[in-house]
Structure 1
């Protein structure tokens, strides 16, 4: 019997890059995804939808299942925002979220909010032990992603 892990992450950071440069990178899904750690493959599905196939999650010496999900992306240059919603029937996870970009002094403030659910194909009694580890691994990936983006914005 499987169990579900729920993830909800909000992060913000500032960069000296201009808002239009930040928006341009974040609105370009393949380019932005190239900075996300452990992406095995990003498959275009058409209509600005993409399937994310992640490398398998490893916890210590144990390898868990592969996370697969798809999202449709909408970007709005007028509001400097990028939003994504899940594509039904794709993979074992559902992810949604947004980027909010706003001028801040001589640079830009960037806000990320993402939430999702992951169906873990392991016995339910392991949920108590594994859920916090899976959440931690996801948060660490987000932090690495933001760090990689910050380096790209400054470069």
Structure 2
């Protein structure tokens, strides 16, 4: 095991909001699964994803996150981008508007989200690939894990709009 990597139990004991979760996040956390984490609520899961997409558009979150990513690849022609946990693809849609020659692989752990992206306008874009992938299975993103995998070989930037957590 690498010294700088958290142990299995450290990840398991981490709050859902990640290591920087506020006291309120920690106080309100329960053991009850959220709709996005449940396999028995496909309809509600899609409704939550649609609501998150709408919220991202209304409050400018897609724009804000896309601009942060764009600033990193602005001068890179045909930049390779890997989006982790894309759910609805809002970040990638906006990033493609800002950088039309970017090649983006959108991934999500939820097959329904990947299917919806692949069947939609974003999935029809010639520079977009939609893939089912669980980044949690790749413990080390920087080393020999996800960034050197066949999911998306050697991207210039990896983006995600929410913290990744282990498991579902």
Same fold (TM over 0.5): no
- Larger RCO: 1 or 2 (CA < 8 Å, sep 6+): 1
TM-score, length-normalised on structure 2?
Answer: 0.28
TM-score, length-normalised on structure 1?
Answer: 0.29
- Which is richer in strand? 1
- Which is richer in helix? 2
